[in-house]
């Protein structure tokens, strides 16, 4: 399949018709290194487009920022885990565990953002 071959993801596919036309809007996310090949393959055999719109977004800076924040959160998580291991009192554990849970949620969110950007 064209998407799999080019490591692309179908993000949105809407089709319909109105009084004057039949339409289909497709949003595909394609890695930059596969873009030209994908575009040539998808356009082959189509003589005319009423409208073709191509856009791109460089997320390199955002990706680097999120990755750095993720690494910092993982270091913080390791520190809190060590504190939890060394905790002698239940009150200390009760104080540390919510912080650790919050950090874990933030790590999961950042990992999700990075996965989304990789696609």
Task: Quickly list H helices, the chain.
Answer: 2-5, 35-43, 60-86, 90-118
On whether the CB atoms of residues 8 and 30 are closer than 8 A, the answer is yes
Residue 82 has a pLDDT of 96
On whether the CB atoms of residues 28 and 3 are closer than 8 A, the answer is yes
Those residues whose C-beta lies under 8 Å from the C-beta of residue 17, and which sit 6 or more positions away, are 23
Instruction: Indicate if the pLDDT at residue 57 is higher than 90.
Output: no
| pLDDT (mean) for 29-58 | 87
**What pLDDT sits at residue 105?**
98
Confidence of residue 24 (pLDDT cuts 50, 70, 90): confident
pTM: 0.67
């Amino acid at each position: 399949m064209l998407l799999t071959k080019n490591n692309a993801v179908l993000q949105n596919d809407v089709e319909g018709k109105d009084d004057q036309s039949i339409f289909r809007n497709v949003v595909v996310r394609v890695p930059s290194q596969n873009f030209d090949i994908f575009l040539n393959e998808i356009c082959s055999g189509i003589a005319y487009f009423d409208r073709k719109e191509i856009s791109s977004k460089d997320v390199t800076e955002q990706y680097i920022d999120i990755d750095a924040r993720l690494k910092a959160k993982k270091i913080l998580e390791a520190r809190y885990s060590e504190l939890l291991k060394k905790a002698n009192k239940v009150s200390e554990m009760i104080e540390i565990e919510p912080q650790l849970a919050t950090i874990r949620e933030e790590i999961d969110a950042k990992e999700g953002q990075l996965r989304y950007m990789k696609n």
